[in-house]
């Protein structure tokens, strides 16, 4: 993939960071901090109720992000009230885990349930606590 900031990075290395060096120990700590930050934005940081509300909102038809957000607000699910960007992060993570699929139409990205997403929703609605498709398992799997 072509990096649009390649020239900028090279310039920064030559000028701003030319005398900067990090020990291996410091590099390891920086990498740990980055990994911790990444894992905090994983599915694990969202509640099962929030994920279930999203799956329910997509049960009958595909919707774009704003429609999902509006529907969540109407059912008093306020997890994304002051940070709507987190909704799109969660939708992307669910798509990555093949619970949702998406397609672009009229310059909007529409999300819908996959067969796997329908199984999660059905299992959660029936209240199975020991089923292999528990949302808790999905949350733990995604946080790795």
For the chain, what is the mean pLDDT? 79
Residue 99 near residue 117, CB atoms below 8 Å: yes
What is the mean pLDDT of the segment spanning 112-134? 76
In the block, which residue shows the tokens 């607000």?
73
Give the single-character DSSP code of 62: -
Q: What is the mean pLDDT of residues 60-86?
A: 87
Is 46 or 138 the better-scoring residue by pLDDT?
46
- Backbone φ and ψ for 46, nearest 5 degrees, come out as -105, 150
CATH fold of 47-142 reads Arc Repressor Mutant, subunit A (1.10.10)
What pLDDT sits at residue 6? 75
Q: How do beta strands 108-113 and 63-64 pair?
A: antiparallel
CA Rg value for the chain: 20
Q: Say what angle helices 65-74 and 48-57 make with each other, to 10 degrees.
A: 120
User: Which has more confidence, 140 or 70?
Assistant: 70
Q: Cβ distance 88 to 65 under 8 Å? A: yes
Instruction: Answer whether residue 56 shows pLDDT above 90.
Output: yes
What mean pLDDT do residues 1-28 have? Answer: 75
- The pLDDT, as a whole number, for residue 85 is 84
pLDDT interval class at 43 (50, 70, 90): low
Q: What band does 132 get if pLDDT is binned at 50, 70 and 90?
A: very low
Quick one: DSSP state of residue 83?
-
Q: Does pLDDT of 74 surpass 70?
A: yes
pTM: 0.62
Query: Is there a contact between 113 and 55 (Cβ–Cβ < 8 Å)?
Result: yes
Q: How far apart are CA 98 and CA 111, in angstroms?
A: 11
Percentage of the chain lying above the pLDDT 90 cut: 22
Residue 12 above 60 pLDDT? Answer: yes
Given a cut of 70, whether residue 38 has pLDDT beyond it is no
Q: What are the helix (H) ranges across 2-144? A: 6-15, 24-40, 48-57, 65-74, 85-96, 115-126, 135-142
Rounded CA-CA distance 124/131 in Å is: 9
């Amino acid at each position: 993939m072509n990096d649009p900031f390649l020239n900028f990075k090279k310039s920064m290395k030559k000028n701003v960071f030319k005398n900067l060096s990090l020990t291996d120990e410091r590099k390891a700590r920086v990498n740990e901090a980055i990994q911790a930050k990444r894992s905090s934005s994983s599915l694990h940081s969202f509640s099962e109720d929030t994920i279930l509300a999203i799956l329910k909102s997509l049960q009958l038809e595909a919707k774009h992000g704003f429609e999902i957000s509006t529907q969540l607000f109407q059912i008093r699910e306020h997890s994304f009230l002051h940070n709507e960007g987190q909704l799109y992060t969660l939708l992307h993570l669910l798509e990555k885990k093949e619970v949702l699929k998406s397609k672009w139409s009229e310059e909007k990205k529409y999300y819908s349930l996959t067969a796997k997403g329908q199984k999660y929703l059905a299992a959660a609605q029936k209240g199975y606590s020991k089923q292999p498709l528990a949302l808790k398992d999905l949350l733990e799997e995604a946080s790795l």
